[in-house]
Structure 1
Amino acid sequence: MSWSAKQYSLFEQQRTRPVHDLIAAIPTQNVQTAIDLGCGPGNSTQVLTQRYPDASVSGLDSSADMLKDARQRLPELRFEQADIGDWNPAHNVDVILANASLQWVPEHGDLFPKLVSKLNKGGTLAAQMPDNLQEPAHVLARQVAQNPRWAHKIAEVRHPPRHSPDFYYALLREHCSAVDVWRTTYYHPLANHQAIVEWFKGTALRPFLAALDEAEQHAFTEQYLQQIRNAYPALADGSVLLPFPRLFICATR
């Protein structure tokens, strides 16, 4: 299942709030070049341009559908289709933004120092990653994947491992002059339980649904919805609060 800009953007306001917090914390002031790795539909890139209006800002994403929306949103910028793991710029940059993208890339012990090496001195790697693999939404997806109807296809599906804050601090401190790491849990008010399913259909459920046919996808999401209803209590008006922990890193070379 390919990335869908339309599905992802259903919750653009909620998804963009963390990048505002991340970009506001970047200490680098004199920025001439910046790139948004995993730019998606360009919502994070737009925030980056607002912080550094005089900088040359570009974006990179592996999804053609995401890039189509990004180019429509910000036609004056340059966007490239490529995988983050393959990114190797001809010249170093002042800011690397990676908002909710690096969790899809494996081998963080190699990836993060590699990204820092692409910064100019005094430049900053600003990354934000969901830290929610043990949240009910993820745990239940793995449980539903064990259904005998489709277990042979997706029972072993796993997201790349996430690491603790001290892992990233120790890793980056060897390569950076300053490292700031923090964790925040956002509580997103959503209309109902179906909205939680729609949220994760745009991200975490993709590896499961990609391996299923249309009928299996429907059955999977229906079973997942039932489990979500039990895990996230509805408020009096039927709305639901979705707790969403995220890990933030600002590492300055």
Structure 2
Amino acid sequence: MTAAHTEDSDRSSEVSWDPQLYLRFPEHRMRPALELLDRVPFDAPPAVVYDLGCGPGTLTRVLTERFSDAEVHGVDSSPEMLRTAAEVAPAARLHRGEISTWRPRHRPDLVFANSLFHLVPDHDDILRRMVRDLAPRGALAAQMPVFHDAPWFRLMTETLEDGGPGGTPLGAPALRRSLCPRHTLDAAGYYDLLAGPNTEVDIWSTEYLHVLDGPDPVWAWVEAAGLRPVIDGLTSAEFGAFRGAYLDRLRAAYPSLPDGRTLFPFQRLFLVVHRT
């Protein structure tokens, strides 16, 4: 394998990402990805593998180790994430790009998208295109968090609506509106989208009950990903007010257990599509 290299596109992410925050709770964050990978059967070892939204490269490294003879590519829009991925997964080829315009340079045997498509609006055509671009018997494997009805997300949006002085809204209206759209489909919607005479589709969902350690662990979890648009969209003063109000609500919704740990339910939707 060649040493890692990064190829930049002319577009950058609109959300700032902190690799060190994202690396918190590594066992919990990696478990869904590894379980998804184990559900992907191969007729032969894959020769070309893409990790879309590779982030800090933790999963990319697993892919280079599991498929040591394959050409493994990591793709992400965040230069901060790619810098970390270059250290974590030195055997991978890294590329900076936006998922909406990404196309593989070679027909892949595996496209892996872990915790990505919930961030991508109107991704129906993107998914169909990715399946068409697969090599024969290639697979697209994706996992998406399902969170719009979760307490942490509902409380986040409520705090933006009334967490300011005297119960006033925080941030611009556009920020509050941007958090509301649900970009993911339900299981039946993805089946209807991807099933056909040239595909085999496997879809399932799992609710994990994460047992988290440390002070305010749910805040620590969402700070790495779900909270990033809020962090970017508020002034320092607004964020101070938001943080205090939101923490109080999180502590009530996710109370600490007598042993000091916190239970955090988290649902995820999985899909594996084989091109026949």
Fold match by TM threshold 0.5: yes
Instruction: Determine the structure 2 residue equivalent to 1:156.
Output: 177
Matched ranges for 1:1-253 at <5 A: 1-30=15-44, 31-147=46-162, 148-153=168-173, 154-158=175-179, 159-174=181-196, 176-192=198-214, 194-253=216-275
Q: What SS is found at the alignment partner of 2:25?
A: helix
1:149 Cα offset (Å): 4.4
Q: Which amino acid is 1:219 matched to?
A: A
The separation in 1 between residues aligned to 2:119 and 2:64, in whole angstroms, is: 24
1:115 Cα offset (Å): 1.2
Structure 2: runs of 5 or more not aligned: 1-14, 163-167
Q: Deviations over 1:176-197 (max 9, x none)?
A: 4211001011111112561111
1:29 Cα offset (Å): 3.8
Q: Which amino acid is 1:12 matched to?
A: P
User: Scaled by the length of structure 1, what TM-score is found?
Assistant: 0.95
Q: What SS is found at the alignment partner of 1:182?
A: strand
Q: What SS is found at the alignment partner of 1:107?
A: coil
The separation in 1 between residues aligned to 2:208 and 2:43, in whole angstroms, is: 27
Q: Deviations over 1:75-121 (max 9, x none)?
A: 22210011111111232111000000111111122121011112011
Q: Deviations over 1:226-253 (max 9, x none)?
A: 1111111321122111111100100001
Moved more, 228-237 or 123-132: 228-237
Is the alpha carbon distance of 1:132 and 1:149 closer, same or farther for their aligned partners in structure 2, counting shifts above 3 Å?
closer
Count matched residues: 253
The separation in 2 between residues aligned to 1:236 and 1:48, in whole angstroms, is: 39
Q: Which amino acid is 2:112 matched to?
A: L
Q: What SS is found at the alignment partner of 1:226?
A: helix
Runs of 4+, deviation exceeding 2 Å: 151-155, 174-177
Please tell me the root mean square deviation across aligned C-alpha atoms, in Å.
1.6
Q: Deviations over 1:24-58 (max 9, x none)?
A: 11122421100000000011112222332211111
Moved more, 102-111 or 16-25: 102-111
